[in-house]
A and B are shown apart, each in its own frame.
Chain A
């Protein structure tokens, strides 16, 4: 198992968001975390990423995977005062040319513009470039399709299925239909 959660429990402001949560995630699988607003989806993702400690239970990683994941939270993790290309170079951990990645995400020709002039959807596309600029086997994504248009969502779905086919894994939350079906999709319901 790449990632295992056992008896996870988290509280916020003395309110229990979830408890006794168990799940497993293997290579090539997608774990879709579902639940209504305020059910603790973001908190769970932050716990998996190690941004916060669970109040009880454990997150276990297969040893060799531990530091290798890409995190994309609500915030895009891009700087408004750096151009799109400079942002990509700053987030890059593999050797793909940033310009190609920009083209792939439909932002060709915007490389030397500042993200503060971008629309929310374009910023999200720029943030999603992080997925291509890393070779990490696991993606942890919080509402990755937020603000994306239809073409953007299709682009993201293509990235997702490509990553899964190559044996990568994903944990994500989404209010959208992800357009993927099959054995490799697991669902985890929160707040039910």
Chain B
């Protein structure tokens, strides 16, 4: 009961802060759309080429947007001391961490999920491929959020940590990228994609269960500095 209350109020708190700040919502979204829209300018407007590279572009842009957002995940909490208070809470930290990441995912990834189909249409992807792209993003972005949070928790006490965060997190992002964009490719070619989707779902379950433990341990280390 107390845990549920703490979970919900933390979720609500982070939500309120994000909506008052807006950067947290707008930055990843803007980054995602800009990167995606720059490609047609860079590689030329040939519809066939764009259709071929669209899954890769959407996924790479989503991944980089997630990385960008992860950098700020614990930053202000660390600076204003609320992170210390969170770590000292008598309630289990991994569960509280899930609330924080859920809020983070809702404000940074869900707007992106809403925008992705529009961009996919602009790239000339077919309806089925767009559906699969949405599904892979839906399964994949929470994984990116959880894994990014591990890196963010490890590096939050360091100044100018962007590069280190990228180095820590990108190798772990790769499986998600590979299976995510491959699923969209495969769907566009008219082949079944259940294999890739199952693998992405497995990664989601794995990160949902194990990442909070790693994040909690990393946060405890960071606040002890």
Residues on A close to B: CB < 8 A? 46, 49-53, 67-68, 71, 73-82, 86, 89-91
- Residues in B neighbouring A77, C-beta threshold 8 A: 80-82, 84-85
14 A–B contact pairs at CB < 8 A?
Answer: A51-B84, A51-B87, A51-B223, A51-B224, A71-B85, A75-B79, A75-B84, A76-B80, A77-B81, A78-B80, A79-B80, A82-B13, A82-B17, A86-B16
- Residues in A neighbouring B85, C-beta threshold 8 A: 71, 77, 91
Is chain B's interface secondary structure helix, strand, loop, or mixed overall?
helix
Count contacts on B: residues with CB < 8 A to the other chain.
19
Beta-carbon contact of A79 and B13 below 8 Å: yes
Q: Assuming A71-B88, A90-B9, is B16 touching A82 (CB within 8 A)? A: yes
Partner of A76 from the list B20, B76, B81 (CB cut-off 8 Å) is B81
- Residues in A neighbouring B17, C-beta threshold 8 A: 79, 81-82
- Residues in A neighbouring B88, C-beta threshold 8 A: 49-51, 71
Tell me, in angstroms, the Cα distance from A81 to B17 when the chains sit together: 5
Is chain A's interface secondary structure helix, strand, loop, or mixed overall?
loop
Tell me, in angstroms, the Cα distance from A71 to B89 when the chains sit together: 10
Extra pairs beyond A46-B224, A75-B84 (20, CB < 8 Å): A49-B88, A51-B84, A51-B87, A51-B220, A51-B224, A67-B90, A71-B88, A73-B81, A73-B84, A75-B79, A75-B80, A77-B81, A77-B82, A77-B84, A78-B80, A80-B80, A81-B16, A86-B13, A86-B16, A89-B9
- Residues in A neighbouring B223, C-beta threshold 8 A: 51
- The answer to the question of B159 belonging to the interface, with a C-beta cut-off of 8 Å to chain A, is no
Tell me, in angstroms, the Cα distance from A74 to B82 when the chains sit together: 11
- The answer to the question of B21 belonging to the interface, with a C-beta cut-off of 8 Å to chain A, is yes
Q: State how many angstroms separate the Cβ of A15 from the closest Cβ of chain B.
A: 15
Q: Nearest chain-A residue to B9 (Cβ)?
A: A90
> Which of A71, A86, A90 has the most chain B CB atoms closer than 10 A to its own CB?
A90
Q: State how many angstroms separate the Cβ of A51 from the closest Cβ of chain B.
A: 5
Interface positions, chain B 173-225, Cβ under 8 Å from A, are: 220, 223-224
- Residues in A neighbouring B20, C-beta threshold 8 A: 81-82
Q: Mark B70-84, 1 if CB is under 8 A from A, else 0.
A: 000000100111101
- Residues in A neighbouring B76, C-beta threshold 8 A: 79-80
Beta-carbon contact of B224 and A79 below 8 Å: no
Beta-carbon contact of B81 and A75 below 8 Å: yes
Q: Nearest chain-A residue to B21 (Cβ)?
A: A81
Q: Nearest chain-B residue to A69 (Cβ)?
A: B88
Tell me, in angstroms, the Cα distance from A111 to B223 when the chains sit together: 29
Q: Mark B81-101, 1 if CB is under 8 A from A, else 0.
A: 110110110100000000000
A-B pairs with the 4 shortest C-beta distances? A75-B81, A67-B90, A52-B224, A77-B81
Tell me, in angstroms, the Cα distance from A90 to B17 when the chains sit together: 12
Interface positions, chain B 1-54, Cβ under 8 Å from A, are: 9, 13, 16-17, 20-21
Tell me, in angstroms, the Cα distance from A50 to B88 when the chains sit together: 8
Q: Nearest chain-A residue to B89 (Cβ)?
A: A67
- Residues in B neighbouring A52, C-beta threshold 8 A: 224
- Residues in A neighbouring B79, C-beta threshold 8 A: 75
Q: State how many angstroms separate the Cβ of A141 from the closest Cβ of chain B.
A: 13
- Residues in B neighbouring A76, C-beta threshold 8 A: 80-81
Beta-carbon contact of B13 and A74 below 8 Å: no
Tell me, in angstroms, the Cα distance from A89 to B81 when the chains sit together: 16
Beta-carbon contact of A74 and B87 below 8 Å: no
- Residues in A neighbouring B224, C-beta threshold 8 A: 46, 51-53
Beta-carbon contact of B84 and A71 below 8 Å: yes
Tell me, in angstroms, the Cα distance from A133 to B82 when the chains sit together: 16
- Residues in B neighbouring A67, C-beta threshold 8 A: 90
- Residues in A neighbouring B84, C-beta threshold 8 A: 51, 71, 73, 75, 77
Tell me, in angstroms, the Cα distance from A73 to B80 when the chains sit together: 10
